[in-house]
Amino acid sequence: MIEKRIFGRTGHMSSRTLFGAAALGAVSQAEADRTFDLLQSYGINHIDVAASYGDAELRVGPWMENHRQEYFLATKTEQRTYQGAWDELQRSLDRLRTGYVDLWQMHILVDPQEWETAMGPGGALEAFVEARENGLARFLGVTGHGVEVATMHLRSLQRFDFDSVLLPYSYTMMQNPAYTADFDALLDVCRERNVAVQTIKSLVRRPWGDQKHTRATWYEPLEDQKDIDLAVHWVLNQSDLFLNTVGDIHILPKLLDAASRFKEGPSEAEMAALTHSRQLEPLFV
């Protein structure tokens, strides 16, 4: 089983590895059902999906009909206006076969112009507040990619008291001094306010580049179990972070196995050796 910790101010005891349901975006319902059986065997009780993840919400929906109370359910929208966000939430609730989500997130809110729209008059934030007031979303969050995301999340937290943030966190990303400084500044604020911090892209080996994509991930992932152990344990060693699982159901078992065996993080020498042997590269520069 995988350790559980309180997910920020929500009070929910979430498994430290959250299921990244992007992995269900292009699979059959039978494959999705087998994946949920695997998740249950490890005690995963937190699902992170998005309206933009292909058929993922449709694959999660049938499971929610019979298991809704067993999971903390999160989804996301990339819509930036009130009406766009509100309409997409109704669609997500229908696809997920539930009357509410535990966490609704503004997805990939990094572009400054989109941020102004979402946070301004008639923006998505108004829909978020209304959804919470009407019991359609219990908590609210913001997510993003790229090297500028931590700074933008800080800006979002200054504008509104979000309950969670989500952003990249890996050994290679944290070799970027500027990103490390921004991430640490965000983490300080989140700790002060009890905002949950979710991390993504833990298993990045390097961008695909011109290579043929052999996995459902939009980066080339680590594949060897020993390598995955190092990458996963490095993230989990930061005790107040949650790790969002890999976007490929065929690599997922290795990540869950690694997380279930976590005791302590690897040394700097071990991570440096992994970086050299597997030629790790940051996904965002």
User: 20 and 48 in contact (C-beta within 8 Å)?
Assistant: yes
Give CA–CA dist 170/134, Å, rounded: 37
Domain extent for 270 = 4-277
The answer to whether residue 92 is domain-embedded is yes
Within a domain: residue 33?
A: yes
Q: What's the confidence (pLDDT) of residue 212? A: 86
pLDDT above 90: residue 111: yes
- Distances in Å between the Cα of 99 and the Cα atoms of 20, 39, 135 are 21, 23, 9
Mean of all residue pLDDT scores within the chain: 97
Please write the tens of the pLDDT for every residue from 169-191. 999 999 999 999 999 999 999 99
pLDDT at 278: 97
Q: Residue 123 carries which DSSP code?
A: B
- Residue 284 falls within a domain, yes or no? no
Number of domains comprising the chain: 1
Q: Look up the pTM and report it.
A: 0.97
pLDDT grade, residue 210 (50/70/90)? confident
CATH number of the domain residue 270 falls in? 3.20.20.100
For 67-106, the pLDDT digits (tens) are 999 999 999 999 999 999 999 999 999 999 999 999 999 9
Residue 283 lies in a domain: no
The answer to whether residue 282 sits within a structural domain is no
pLDDT for res 244: 98
